[in-house]
Structure 1
Amino acid sequence: MGVWGKLITALRGGMHEAGEAVIDTQALRILDQEIRDADQELRKSKEALAEIMAKQKLAEDKVKKTQAKVDEYEGYALKALEANDEKLARDVAEKIANLEVTLDAERESEAAFTKSAADLRKAVSQSEANIKRLKQQVDTVKATESVQKAQATVASRYSGSQTKMHTALESLERIKKRQAEYGARMEAAVEVEAMESDDMLDVKLREAGFLAKEGSADNVLDRLKKKQQDKSSS
C-alpha cells in the first residue's frame, strides 16, 4: 500500500473512531429515542391486532350464520324427500351446495384471521417483553451513570479540597515562619537597644567621673601597680 493509501486508511479509521465516540456520548439519547419508536410501533401493532380480531369475530359470525342456513335447508330437503318431492329436494340441495361453497370460503377466511391474530398476538407479546427488558436495562445504565457521575464529582471535590488544604497548610507555614522571623527581629532589636542603653549609661558615668575612661594612661598604670602588688604579696 502506498503512502496515499495508508493516509486515506488512517483518515477513515480516525473518522470511524470519531463517529463511535459521538455515538457513545449520545448512546442514552439514542436508546431513549429507539424505545419511543418501538413503543409507537407496538401501539400500531396492537391497533392492527384489534382490527384483525374484529374481522376474525365477524368471520366467525358469518360461519355460524351460514352453517345455520345449511342446517336449515338440509331440514327442508329432508322434508321434501319425505314428501317424495324429488324436484323440490333437488332445488334445496342446489341451495345447500351453494351455501356450502360460501361456508368453505368463510371458514378459510376465519382460519386466516385466526392465524394472523395468533401470530400478531405473539409478536406483540414478544415486543412488549423486549421493550420492557430494554427499558429496565436503560434504567440500570442511567442509574449506574448517575452513580459514576456522583462518584466522579465527589472524587473531584475531594481532590480539590485536598489541594486547597495543602495550599492552606503551606500558607499557614509561611505565616508561622514570617511571624517567627519577625519575633526574632524584635528580640534582637530589644537586645541591641538594651546594649545601646548600657553603653550610653557607661558614657554618662565616665563623663561624670564615676568610671575611668577606657584606654587612659591612668587605667594602664593602675593595672600595672596592682600586678606589682600581687607579686610582692606572693
Structure 2
Amino acid sequence: MPDTLKTLFKRIQEGMEGLAGAVMGDRAERLLDDEIRAVDDALHGARGEHAAAKARRVANEQHQAALATRIGEAEAKVEAALRQGRTTQARTAADDAVRLQAERSQRMEEGQDLAAHERQFAHVVEQLEGRLRRLKHQLDILRASNSLQRAQATVARRQPGEAPYPEPAFASAARMKQRRSPTQGTGAASQRKSKNKKTEADPAQAVLDRARKRITSSARKR
C-alpha cells in the first residue's frame, strides 16, 4: 500500500477514535447533567425539610416558654390561696401547675427530638451541597475535555498534506519577497557590471567621474 494511502487510513482511524471519544464524552456529560438535576432536586427537598424541622423546633420552644409562664402563674395562685386560707382553691391551682409541668416535660422531650431531626436535615443539606459542587466541577472539566477531543478529531480528519491552518499574510509576503530577491539582485549586479564595462570602454568618462567626485568632496569641506 502506498505511503500516502497508509497515512490517509491512519488519519481516518484516528478521526474515528476521536469521534467515538467525543460521543462517549457527550454521553457522560448528559449523565452528569442528569445527576446534577437529581441532586439539585434532592437538595431543594432537604432544604425544605430542614426549614420545616427548624420551624417545628422553634414553635415547640415557644410553647415551652408559654407553659413555663402558666406554671409560674399557677404556683402564684397556690401561694395566694394558701395565704388566704383557701385550701380548695390552693389544691385546684396546684393540680393545674402539675398538669402544666407534665405537658412542659412532654414538650421538652419532643423539642429534643425536633432538634435532632433539624441537625440531621442540616447534615443532609451540607452533604448534598458538597456533592452538587463536585458534580458541577466534574461537568466543567468534562465539557472542556470534550471540546478538546472534538478539536483533535477535526484535525485528525484532515486530508494528508492539507495545511492545518491558513498561511499568515506576513509569511506569504516574506516568501514572495525571497522569491523576488534573487532576480532583483541579479538585475542590480547586471547594471553594475554594465556600468563598469561602459567606464572601461570610455576612459574619458572615468576621468570626468573622478573630477566630479573631487569637486563634490571639496564643496563639502567648505
- Given the two structures, how large is their TM-score scaled by the length of structure 2? 0.58
The aligned amino acid for 1:141 is L
1:24-63 to structure 2, matched below 5 A, reads 26-63=27-64
**SS of aligned partner of 2:161:** helix
Q: Which residue of 1 aligns with 2:123?
A: 122
Describe the shift of the 1:164–1:151 C-alpha distance in structure 2 as closer, same or farther (beyond 3 A): closer
**Structure with greater Cα Rg:** 1
Counterpart in the other structure of 1:179: none
Paired letter, 2:161: Q
Superposed, 1:1-150 pairs within 5 Å as: 26-150=27-151
* One-letter code aligned to 2:69: A
CA positional deviation for 1:25: 6.2
AA aligned to 2:67 is: T
2:210 aligned partner: none
Kindly tell me the number of residue pairs found equivalent between the two proteins. Answer: 142
What does the per-residue CA deviation read over 1:6-65, in whole Å, with 9 as the maximum and x for residues that have no partner? xxxxxxxxxxxxxxxx98762221111111011111111111222222222211111111
Gapped regions of structure 1 (runs ≥ 5): 1-21, 166-234
Structure with the bigger RCO (C-alpha within 8 Å, sep 6+) is 2
- Over the aligned positions, Cα root-mean-square deviation in angstroms equals 2.3
Cα deviation, 1:186-224, whole Å, max 9, x if unaligned, reads xxxxxxxxxxxxxxxxxxxxxxxxxxxxxxxxxxxxxxx
SS of the aligned residue for 1:114 comes to: helix
Map of 2:5 onto structure 1:
none
Q: Which amino acid aligns with 2:29?
A: L
Give the stretch that moved more between structures: 54-63 or 80-89: 80-89
How is 1:193-208 mapped onto 2 (pairs within 5 angstroms)?
Answer: none
- The one-letter code matched in structure 2 to 1:162 is G
* Shift in alpha-carbon separation, 1:83–1:149, aligned structure 2, 3 A: same
Is the 8 Å Cα contact of residues 67 and 104 (structure 2) preserved in structure 1?
yes
Residue type of the partner of 1:40? Answer: D
How far did 1:82 drift? 2.9
- Quote how far apart the aligned CAs of 1:147 are: 1.4
